[in-house]
Structure 1
């Protein structure tokens, strides 16, 4: 049997190398807008049981330029449950002739986790190759076996922008008695063929032309062709599971990973009860307990064995004073339970892309855990890994997406907190004094919601970093000097207040007896989307916000406004924008500005309208008035 397998592997490998991968054989249509061309991407997943899977793959990529190197994907992950059986890369020149060969021992071997990980048994082998010239081709052959069948490989027929594909093939082979679920995504748009056979199923795609990124794109996986697979009965790090619904998935997590991991010592229980003994309001109790966690623990990633999903026990976190997102969330949940407050361990796909768990495809998904605390009149969210984030603040890491609440009754799919544009508000008020030589400004900026997310860290930054931030923020103001700054982070009301004094001698333009001055000195929005004559995809604006600005402008002595701003009032499906400059006295004018950006998914045909809206904002924000000496 071993000899047969070796012969089969030898035959497959040499069949791949025997094919003609000369650059000249690539269809010219696949070179357009491409940094690389996948000549062959083939994977066969053989499931023999709920605790044994074998994955064999061949990937041949012709790299056209430096930007295409990232598409090689010459990596192989392994751990105690996953063994690499074969790993080899062959480099071909433009004519398809072999110029270099790498065996498994030639691949770099390192931990698969970052510096913030305390310990991990997850490792990765990867190829580091510096080409002599372009184009070149990499033939990667890989095979591994694993007892972990919880995470079935998700197959992307195209795995990025500016990448064409000659042939992509995915095979799933498994016994008839093993039940599986699948979800085909965007296959018909790309003419991907699906064929069921006696062994399972086979997908094939041919001649997929490269996709260009577009500003305000949907997520790539939401429009690119891909296939999701999940076994109903699976195995993960020694733990068996059965999942066909999100409710069942939640039950498996609760009973297999969380149960009996919430115990605390009697002394800790008494300590946390003493913290809240004089408090009746549940929300105030939660704040006190949450602050206790922030003051007494720190975040460190733990990725050993089932540690990718199972939290460290609460009693262990209490002892060592650290944990990962799972451990700290479970610990906070245990502390709240000790003071009579019920909360729910919650799984989320964290990140700024606002990616939801797939509601229609129950399976092991997500990369982060946080805590849901339902009260009688509101629902609170706790980010237990942070030592600075307030109670009930969901920033761009976890906001507005489907997440899974886990409890004794199973799993429940819910939406995390969403911030309306009016809740993500920045109010800027300022007094601006103009002399013939310089401009001084005393500025106050209050930020809430998602705009708070961008500001609260400033309160703990060094003076040097804060000054650097403001100089970048006002980078259109020449020779700006930060005279002083004070930043208050009000965690109870979740609002930051910035007070900054600045001066500049490079903002005014002089022309004889006239001074040119742009009233929007402190909150310009100069962004204009790129032209796109042939927009293909919907326009997705993920988060909205509201800016309100009020600047009191003191004119220099013996000057008056010769040419004023034209009032603007725009309203459309994308948002609202208004500007006015109103006379307060002979020497004072008030500049008012309001910008509301709405989130939403808009038809591709509206892209030019959206671009024109942003263009009008950018133009108006730079408009100048003319001051004439009397």
Structure 2
């Protein structure tokens, strides 16, 4: 034995270690129920979210998330990002990836986590927001990713929400939500679309209240045509504070009045203008005949002397720059520019208020029955009176080109929180219906005797129908405008020979006039002695796909509009209309449609089409009727005029 000691001493230490034991497999794809794989691109195996409220000003939010990516369409689930800033400290971000059998492939290393400032990519940002980002996507599916992270939040105005099924094609195997809060800070929550048996379980221990929810085995959902956003169709729990505190500023979100009061007091005293600015405003409006004219002049001054930047610096997300700062520097974010505008209007003798709003063309209205901070933008409300009647004016202060008093699809058709000395008041922004949202087009189609055609089209768009085209006109040059319009014209073969966008004369809702010239080779190719022409070149409304299975969601028609088209066919010598389509008249709860054709004294043909779409929300059973309405419109829009070549 002693003789062996020198030999044993010479051997490396590793010779005595047992072979490394691989971690036991977990999250094997085979363990996913077949019903959850059906129609899914990814399956959320576990989503365990824990909120621990420490005080009125602090909470901790921890997340454990495991997702199996089934195919390439679910690949985005293989990466994860977490944002943080001065009020949100990211304590850790961890990750791992597993193969189809649940064997560990890779543990995320610190060096593989990317950290980037939100403003690093350029743009008008003044922000301390940063993002940590990890990418564990694999070249082959299926695979499973696991992420863990924790945030300490010193902005208790916002509590995390729980909606694990937030994407189409994502099934949920297991998701839990646990909230612990001091009994002195009772939780405000709203349960939405929860399945039976998933309501909250509550308990109390050591002065703490505990709320828990659990969701299991939710099949993947497919977004249906004309459906509400997923936020209105999949299970969710939304939280909000009662009493809260942000960097020493205390408030309550239990009522709209209280939330508005906090915002008002947070920004009180920041509306003082330099004396020179006050004098400039007073000189500007001294001969104005009424408050609306004063407001218009102030708004034009604002647009000509300021620009927008985004400010997200700690409390700066809610507390405005002083008006004097905007006056000196010529820039500000939505809050600062709105606050500055109310100060300018006050100097002009026109009372106005800042209003908080959830902005976005596709953003649904706020949930009025659950007071909470549902806002991402600030605008200005100017209460006026014309002939003794209310005539409220609304101003978008971040745009140098927005028409005076126009909100459009970005902030119109929804509610906003008016911030007044007496607190918050929920009010409606302007409603834009079919009267305002119009498209009026006159198209002349000239057919030649060789089978080709040319066309000229003049289109007036107003209200929300002009929003996109106003953006094109102000932000793109003529070449890029032409390219965009060319790319979006749904014609088989054509050349755009003329393209022009111009502001329409001011007559109510703002408008854009689009003038186009088109060359259409082969458009009217003869078939023997006849030519078949579909006069509706630019306004065809496609049919919708048939519903696969039973409709699950309500029918939401979010925009009202009126489209009116007049098309004239100018025929070459030797041709006459042989057959004109029968007129069509449709009247439903979803809209009204008509089309008619007439032979003209000069030998041509006139086609008139009118479509009014209505805004509304309907039960799921209404989809069959809406589908049929769209099918009939599509068929009518494809109708053809038959031209006959006469004997020479």
State the TM-score bracket (shorter-chain normalisation).
over 0.9
Q: Which residue of 2 aligns with 1:12?
A: none
Inter-partner Cα distance in structure 2 for 1:441 and 1:85: 63
In structure 1, what is the Cα distance between the partners aligned to 2:225 and 2:422? 43
Q: Report the equivalent of 2:7.
A: none
Select between 245-254 and 387-396 the one with higher mean Cα deviation.
387-396
In 2, Cα distance between the equivalents of 1:485 and 1:50? 57
Given the alignment, which residue of 418, 443, 446 partners 1:433? Answer: 446
Whole-angstrom distance in 1 between the partners of 2:418 and 2:113? 41
Tell me by how many angstroms 1:385 deviates: 0.9
Residues 264-343 of structure 1: pairs in structure 2 closer than 5 A: 264-343=273-352
2:159 maps to 1:152: yes
Contact conserved, 1:486 with 1:500, CA < 8 A, in 2? no
The equivalent position to 1:211 in structure 2, one of 214, 221, 224, is: 221
Q: CA RMSD of the aligned region, Å?
A: 2.0
Deviations 1:418-450 (A, max 9, x none): 111232111112333322133233322222111
* Structure 2: distance between partners of 1:517 and 1:594: 19
Question: 454, 460, 463: which one pairs with 1:449?
Answer: 463
Q: Which residues of structure 2 form unaligned runs of 5+?
A: 1-22
| Matched ranges for 1:404-419 at <5 A | 404-419=417-432
Which consecutive unaligned segments of at least 5 residues does structure 1 have?
1-16
Deviations 1:370-425 (A, max 9, x none): 11112114222111111111012122111211211111111111121111123211
Rg larger in 1 or in 2?
2
Alignment of 1:136-147 (within 5 A): 136-147=143-154
Partners of 1:430 and 1:22 in 2: how far apart?
A: 61
| Matched residue, 2:11 | none
Of the three residues 88, 99, 115, the one matched with 1:109 is 115
TM-score after normalising by structure 1 = 0.93
| CA separation of 1:486 and 1:416: change in aligned 2, threshold 3 A | closer
Q: Is the 8 A contact 2:78 2:135 kept in 1?
A: no
Q: Is the 8 A contact 1:383 1:389 kept in 2?
A: yes
CA distance in 2, matches of 1:484, 1:89: 52
Q: Give the Cα separation in 2 of the matches to 1:629 and 1:574.
A: 41
C-alpha offsets along residues 317-340 of structure 1, whole Å, 9 cap, x if unaligned?
111111111111111111111101
SS at structure 2 position matched to 1:263:
coil
Residue aligning to 1:562: 578
2:242 to 227, 232, 235: 232
CA contact (8 A) 1:55 1:145 kept: yes
2:278, 2:363 → 1: CA distance? Answer: 36
User: Offset of 1:454 from its aligned partner?
Assistant: 2.8
**Equivalent position to 2:479, from 464, 482, 506:** 464
Partner Cα separation in structure 2 for residue 455 and residue 206 of structure 1 = 46
State the TM-score, normalizing by the size of structure 2: 0.90
Name the counterpart of 1:604.
620
Distance 2:544 2:187 in 1: 47
CA distance in 2, matches of 1:536, 1:548: 33
Q: Secondary structure at the match of 1:468?
A: helix
* Residue pair 1:90, 1:139 contacting (<8 A) in 2 also: yes
CA displacement 1:74-93 (0-9 Å, x = unmatched): 22222223222232101111
Shift of 1:28: 0.9
Identify the residue that residue 175 of structure 1 maps to in structure 2: 182
CA distance in 2, matches of 1:104, 1:197: 38
Of the structure 1 ranges 602-611 and 340-349, higher mean CA displacement relative to structure 2 is found in 602-611
- Cα displacement string for residues 152-199 of structure 1 (whole angstroms, at most 9, x for unaligned residues): 111114222211112111111122122331111111x35424210114
Residues 446-494 of structure 1: CA distance to partner in whole angstroms, max 9, x if unpaired?
2211112232234444221232244345331522332353523445641
SS at match of 1:330: helix
Q: Which residue of structure 1 aligns with residue 257 of structure 2?
A: 247
